[in-house]
Amino acid sequence: MTWNQAGFLKPQRKLSQYLFLYVAPSMAAGLGLFTSKPFEAGATVLTVTDPDYLAQAMSHAEITAAGFSHADIFQVGSDLFIPPYGGPDDFTNHSCEPNCGLKVRPDGFSMVALYDIEANEELTYDYSTHQEHPLEDMDCACGSRGCRRVVRSFSTLPKPLRRRYLSLGIVADFAAEMALIAAEGSDCRF
């Protein structure tokens, strides 16, 4: 892996195909990813393809040793996390009532619109759909009416919400599998 001076993985993707995306202050916290054009529900908003996407993944111990914040990493396996790499998705914030969902593949991911999205709207997804690690809880600042106040593992979501997310195909395979194990009462350790 190649790191830049700011501690991010050097971007390895051309971002010119995402000219409709921009980073701006978020109502929730910090910066967020916004779209300058509208999307209909079900449309693909963003696709990141990189044959080395999962090769960037680090263990929780490596992430901690490198000093990354839990809010800045993306979980892709039971103990695999992708640190910030300079792509547009690094600025996608969590919402307990998201307008997007992520469909992860070994070579990247697609962001899909869960609802109609207006131009200049912030793009968000529920971090819990790709989180299943007991050390990854974080305070939520999304401000939505249904805010859960804390972002936790997928297995901790209310059952109807888990079912909805599963039916939309926006839950990481590892999170769905580990939630099933937890529901069956097995002892799942990390």
One-letter identity of residue 41 = A
7 inside domain: no
Alpha-carbon distance of 136 to 65, in angstroms, equals 15
Residue spans of alpha helices (H) in 24-158:
60-65
Per the domain annotation, does 101 fall within a domain?
yes
pTM of the model: 0.85
Q: Is residue 154 part of a domain?
A: yes
CA–CA separation, 172 and 149 (whole Å): 22
CATH of the domain at 72: 2.170.270.10
pLDDT recorded at residue 69: 80
pLDDT of residue 146: 93
**pLDDT tens sequence for the chain (190 residues):** 445 555 544 444 445 678 899 999 998 888 999 999 999 999 999 998 888 878 889 998 998 899 988 778 888 888 899 888 777 778 899 999 999 999 988 888 899 999 999 999 999 999 999 998 777 788 999 999 999 999 999 999 999 999 999 999 999 998 988 877 766 655 444 3
Q: Does any domain span residue 109?
A: yes
pLDDT given for residue 137 in this prediction: 85
Q: What is the pLDDT of residue 184?
A: 67
185-189, Cβ contacts within 8 angstroms, sequence gap of 24 or more: none
Whether residue 139 lies inside any domain: the answer is: yes
The Cα–Cα gap between 48 and 44 comes to 11
Dmax (CA) for the chain in angstroms is: 47
Listed residue (187, 59, 179) closest to 131, CA to CA: 179
pLDDT score, position 55: 83
Residues of the domain holding 152: 19-183
Dihedral (CA of 158, 105, 72, 62) sign: positive
- Cα 152 from Cα 130, distance rounded (Å): 10
Contact 131, 79 (CB under 8 A): no
Residue 57 domain flag = yes
Looking at the structure of the chain, the number of domains it has is: 1
The pLDDT of residue 73: 87
Question: Would you say residue 5 lies in a domain?
Answer: no
- Assigned domain for 111 exists: yes
